Amino acid sequence: MQDMIGRKDFCASGQILMTDLSCLAYVLEEWTVVDYLKKYLFHLVIVSLTMSAILVFFIVPLTILFFIYLTNILLLIYQRNGEVKADPLSDVWDSARKTIASFWDIYARIWHGYELHGVENLPEGPGILVYYHGAIPVDYLYFLSRLFLWKKRLCLSVADHFVFRLPGLKLLLEVTGVMPGTREECLTALKNGHLVSISPGGVREALFSDESYQLMWGNRKGFAQVALDAKVPIIPMYTQNVREGYRMFKERRFFRQLYESTRLPFTPPYGGLPVKFRTYIGEPIPYDPNITTEELVEKTKTAVQALISKHQTIPGSIWKALLERFDKRRKSD
């Protein structure tokens, strides 16, 4: 005891031996900053854990967004260095498209073990692809990439108007064939022999559907009318586990009302777990001059729902979707 008091007096005198740990601990306890840290350590830990959770929740979606913008920058460099002035949909851009598609296909293979089934169901000529919209349509980006690599075929995409308000993506949207999707644009694209894809649920389905995989098409039937006018088939498409990979926070009335009034997606997606993704292309619904627009909409909805029912566990399970990365039995399903 006297020895401890002696060391305390020795430290207090200002002569500190750094090898004496008990003396060093005493001095540290005397510092105000240590008491301050002790007092607020709990709060510091809580803030650190919260920031880490936010980072984990949003890091993959933010990474995807970063890669998308990086792709646009590389296209701008390609355009400037090659002095390319051709139509963005022309074959002149095919080498750039192949590079972009190869990158996203590698990402798809590594992160989601991506598979594409049913390509043989796509017509040689024009047609309209109708698909379920996930929280982030990265699965659709994977599909576009692999289709181009396998078939060297460009599928034009109908996107929501807010996409064209995003700064810095103009060239990427043009080169990959993303368009607002007016009736005239779609008919022209189909007349030129292109595949045209659309998700009738769109942003509403992305924001407010969930692991039940409910289709949220509302009264949208323009795609069916275009298919009848152009006399082309409709091909249903669905990606397994797309809601397990990326999710939205549970619907809140405020955010629903905000979207309905502004048509802008204010709710951020989260997730990005490396679950198994498989895109299934169903059998085409052939053109039938005797069918009405409403009947074709219902027929298409039934076809997409059938793909979901056949290939998706409902409600979706993140755990099962992760385990499917190792399930070889379903590889050729």
Q: State the catalytic residues.
A: 133
> 281 to each of 46, 56, 324, how far by Cα in Å?
46, 32, 19
**Enclosing H/E stretch for 278:** strand 278-281
> 222 to each of 186, 200, 245, 252, 329, how far by Cα in Å?
10, 9, 30, 29, 39
Q: Which two tokens stand for residue 225?
A: 């009318």
Nearest to 268 by CA among 245, 253, 246: 246
d(CA 55, CA 301): 37
On whether the CB atoms of residues 157 and 197 are closer than 8 A, the answer is: yes
d(CA 51, CA 251): 23
- Residues 236-250 as b or e (16 or more Cβ within 10 Å = b): bbbbbbbbbbbbbee
d(CA 142, CA 159): 16
Nearest to 304 by CA among 244, 224, 193, 231: 224
